Structures are given as structure tokens and as C-alpha cells.
Amino acid sequence: MSSFKVVIVGGGPVGALAGLYAAQRGFEVEIYEMRDEYNQLHTATAFSTKSISLTLSERGIKSLRHSRCKNLAERILSKTVPVYGRMVHGKAKAVLTSRRIPYDVHGQALYAISRSEINYSLLQELSKFPNVRVFYKHKLSGLDMKQKSATFQNITKVHEPDHETKFDLLIGADGAHSTTRFHLSRYAKININQKWEDIFWCELTIPAGHSLALDCLHMWPQHDFMLFACPDKEGTLTCNLFAPESVFVELKSSGRIVEFFEKHFPGITPDLIPTDSLQKQFQSNLHHPMIDIRCSPYHYQDSCVLIGDAAHAMVPFYGQGMNTGFEDVRILFEDFLDQRKNLPSSPYDLSLTHSVQQKEPLDTPAAIVGDYLEQYTKFRQPDVHIINELALQNYKELRQGVLKISYRVRKQIEEFLCFYAPQLGWATQYRMVAFETMRYTEVLRQVRKQRLILSSLAWSCLVAFSVFCLFSLHLSKTVDILV
């Protein structure tokens, strides 16, 4: 077992998966989490902060499978609800309507799961490793990047001295409001672009016994806001109302919550959520704002690196937040840190003597790890900035695009080409993001190329049609003259 020590700040899904990758490589691992320890009998209440329903897709599943933990991905997938498309609900001439839109022409699915369920599964897997220690109710209070020392406060014992620990590498996986990122900014020239979007959300629950299909995500789109419902393993649906802050302010002040839902989300109340329950849930549940965070770099020398929401918090409208965080873990370890095997001096071989390190400073453990962390930042940053932007754009498509004929025509053309002409390499943007693992930068390049081709074909058809019409008109006039 290596004496190389990895400290991970944050025990959520991304931090737990990073712990598994580090533990499998024989490193000494310590994970520090602010929230309570999971209780096997009450997993629903553990880590009880609100979280929009999560979906696992190919990037996340691949990362779970590459964790080297036998059948981990399959065990987690067995606890999910496969969803194969969106069900768009509306109303036409006083009649409720529903339209199913498959995610993929090849029938692939997303896998809905609660945050607590996947987090519990990962932490249970971590408990099997003797080289892993997890500290709950511990908050990062100090970080010395140069001395590689971190201090944590036990928030249940505030009068006790802080707990200090040394590390060789610290991984910040402590979410959008990352304390690690704050400390990192004191050492690295880190640019942080933090934007609060004018999108608030409130969680609601549709109880079991409803008539909605459980193999798709349900949505009630409007021009400026939408309602989204994700099936749960228990047969309930977790709903989220997404709307500008002004909508929430008006509903709170007027109290006309039921009327609002009856007008904009037909069929919700009282059919799916009793009116009393709807009123109570809306008033008692928190209304959360959404944030978009993009920063660079993600690291400081060989001491620290950010992953997941700590590096790139995104809005949830592409379902890629957790999947991108899992992919961060896989890429960081497999594509960068594991490459030490190809170098003359392994960064985890701490038996190197001081004299050797002085002789070959470029091959010291610190230099090699620092170099790979820098490479990781440069490689990963363009991709995650793109998915942040695509997630924002997809909110508009979910609210407005799915209602337009142009969206349906474009989707049908792309799916036709994807299914019947696979040799062209054609695929919808959604397929490339959710069901493949190509870089997001490559996804954007491919999407722009495909749209240019479709646009060129459309203009060519329009020009050809115009020429045909002019020719027909000219021919008609010529015939009239001859007659």
C-alpha cells in the first residue's frame, strides 16, 4: 500500500467516487464531509439537503465501471428507473394532450436515481477499503497549500481544537459553494465566473397511484417557465417548478398557487396533486436560485485540484452535472495521474532520496504531479465550459423548442440519418452528450458541422424550388403567347 495520501473535501457522489479511484490505487484516503453519516435504515433522510432528481447517463456509467469495483455500476443501475424519453403534456381545445419524444432513435435510456441512493451506494463501497477513513460533520476551516496541511472543524464539537491533517494531494469535491475553491483562490490566480441565473426552482411530489408512465420524464412547458417530473423507484414522481424569481414572488404574495397550476399545467391538480397538498408543498418547500460557475485553473501546483461542481456548477437542464463530475474523476486518474507509469520517477514512489530529487528536479514526485494537474486543467476546462453553456441553452429548448414544428422536423431528419445512414456518423446533439463519451468540444464541433450541412441543404432546396417556380411561370407565359 502506498504512503501517498489523498485528502478529499466533500463526500457527495463525486467525492465518494474519487475516493474509490484513489483507494483502488492503494493510496491512503481521507474524506471529510459536512453532513451526517448515512444510516443504512434511513437513507432517505441522510444527506438531507434538497437536490434535483439525478439521472445517470453513459459518461457517469462508464466512470462507475472504470472504478475497478466489481459490479458497482450494475448494482447502482438496479436501483434506478430507466426513462426512455420525455412526455410533453399540454391542452388543446379543453382536451388534455400528451406527446412522447424518445431520447434516442436506438432506444437508449437515462437512469433516474435519488442523490441519497447513489451516494449511499458509493460510501458503502468505500467502507470495504481499510485504507479509507471518512469523517462526517467536518468542515474545512484552513488550508496551507505550500505545507500541504488542512484543518477541519468538527461542527458538533465547536469548542474542541481543529483537526489537522497532512496530505500529498487534496481534491476539492465540495460542490458549488466550495470552501476549497475559496482557499485555492488565495494561492492560484484563479478566474471565477459566478452567475446567478434568473431561474428559481421548488420541489413538489406527485404521490403514488397516479396514471403517468414511469418510463419517461414528464414536462409541462410554457414560454417562460416549466414543470418537470422525474419518476422514483417507489412509484412517486419528484416534480420541480422552474420559473423566474418574479413568478415565485407573485405566487407567494397572491397565494393563487392552485389557479396558476390549473392555468399553466393542466392535469396536475387535483388529478395528480390534491389542491391542499399542492398549496402546502409550495409554501413550505424552499425556493432555490440556480447558479452557473466556471473557473480556471482547477489546480495549484501539485497540491490541490477541483472536480465536479466545485470546478463547474451548471444548471440541470441537460442532466449532466453528476455525469460530468464522475467523468472528471475518471479523466483525472486514468488519463493523467496514472500516466506516471511511463515516467522514470513515479510521483507515488516516495522512497526517492533528497539527493536524487535535487539532481533531477523535473522528475520529482511534486514536479510530475504538478505537471499532470496543469495538463488536466488545460484539457478539461474547454469541455466543461461548453456543457455549462449547452445546459443553459437546453432550458430554452425544453420550455419553447419542443413546442415548435421546426424542432420536430430537425429531430426527425437527424434521427433518420443516424438510424439509416450510420456510416455518415450523424447523431443528434442529445445522443452525443448523453449516450456517448466524446469530448464536449468534439460534440459542439460535430453539431455545428451538421447544422451547416442541413442549413446548406435547406437553402439549396429553397433555391431549386424558386428556380423551378420561375421556370414554370416563364413556361406558362410562353405557352399563352404561342396559343
* pLDDT tens digits along 281-297: 999 999 999 999 999 99
Q: What ranges in 304-364 are assigned the alpha helix state H?
A: 309-312, 321-330, 354-359
> Are 467 and 380 in the same domain?
no
> Are 180 and 90 in the same domain?
yes
> Are 165 and 23 in the same domain?
yes
> Are 388 and 410 in the same domain?
no
Structure confidence at residue 370 (pLDDT): 83
66-78 tens-digit pLDDT: 999 999 999 999 9
Predicted confidence band of residue 345 (pLDDT cuts 50, 70, 90): very low
> Are 385 and 443 in the same domain?
no
| Angle subtended by helix axes 440-482 and 365-399, to nearest 10 | 40
> Are 85 and 9 in the same domain?
yes
- In the chain, the percentage of residues whose pLDDT exceeds 90 is 72
For residue 70, being part of any structural domain is answered with yes
> Are 68 and 207 in the same domain?
yes
Structure confidence at residue 364 (pLDDT): 59
Q: Is the peptide bond before 382 cis (omega within 30 degrees of 0)?
A: no
Task: Provide the mean pLDDT of the chain.
Answer: 88
> Are 382 and 446 in the same domain?
no
Mean pLDDT of 236-251: 96
Predicted confidence band of residue 365 (pLDDT cuts 50, 70, 90): low
Predicted confidence band of residue 235 (pLDDT cuts 50, 70, 90): very high
Structure confidence at residue 433 (pLDDT): 96
Structure confidence at residue 255 (pLDDT): 93
> Are 259 and 117 in the same domain?
yes
301-310 tens-digit pLDDT: 999 999 999 9
- pLDDT over 60 at 356, yes or no: no
Q: Which of 39-53, 344-358, 443-457 has the highest mean pLDDT?
A: 443-457
Give yes or no for a contact between 13 and 117, defined as CB atoms under 8 angstroms apart: no
> Are 48 and 13 in the same domain?
yes
Mean pLDDT of 330-349: 67
For residue 332, being part of any structural domain is answered with yes
Give CA–CA dist 18/235, Å, rounded: 31
For 124, the enclosing helix (H) or strand (E) is: helix 115-126
Does residue 255 or residue 351 have the better pLDDT? Answer: 255
Q: What is the pTM of this model?
A: 0.88
For residue 86, being part of any structural domain is answered with yes
> Are 64 and 130 in the same domain?
yes
Give CA–CA dist 114/48, Å, rounded: 11
For residue 323, being part of any structural domain is answered with yes
For residue 206, being part of any structural domain is answered with yes
Q: At residue 133, what are phi and psi to the nearest 5 degrees? A: -125, 135
**In terms of Cα–Cα distance, which of 202, 233, 240 is closest to 112?**
233
Contacts of 43 (CB under 8 A, 6+ apart): 116, 117, 120
For residue 237, being part of any structural domain is answered with yes
Give CA–CA dist 120/197, Å, rounded: 30
Q: How many CB atoms lie within 10 A of CB 39?
A: 11
276-285 in b/e form (b: 16+ CB < 10 A) is ebbbebbeee
In terms of residue numbers, what domain contains 177?
A: 5-343+361-394
For residue 100, being part of any structural domain is answered with yes
| CATH code of the domain containing 374 | 3.50.50.60
- pLDDT over 50 at 350, yes or no: no
Mean pLDDT of 384-393: 96
Structurally, the chain folds into a number of domains equal to: 2
Structure confidence at residue 214 (pLDDT): 95
Predicted confidence band of residue 458 (pLDDT cuts 50, 70, 90): low
For residue 349, being part of any structural domain is answered with no
- Asked which of 16-25, 39-48, 194-203, 212-221 is least confident by mean pLDDT, the reply is 39-48
> Are 42 and 138 in the same domain?
yes
Q: Which three cell numbers stand for residue 216?
A: 419517461
Give CA–CA dist 351/459, Å, rounded: 67
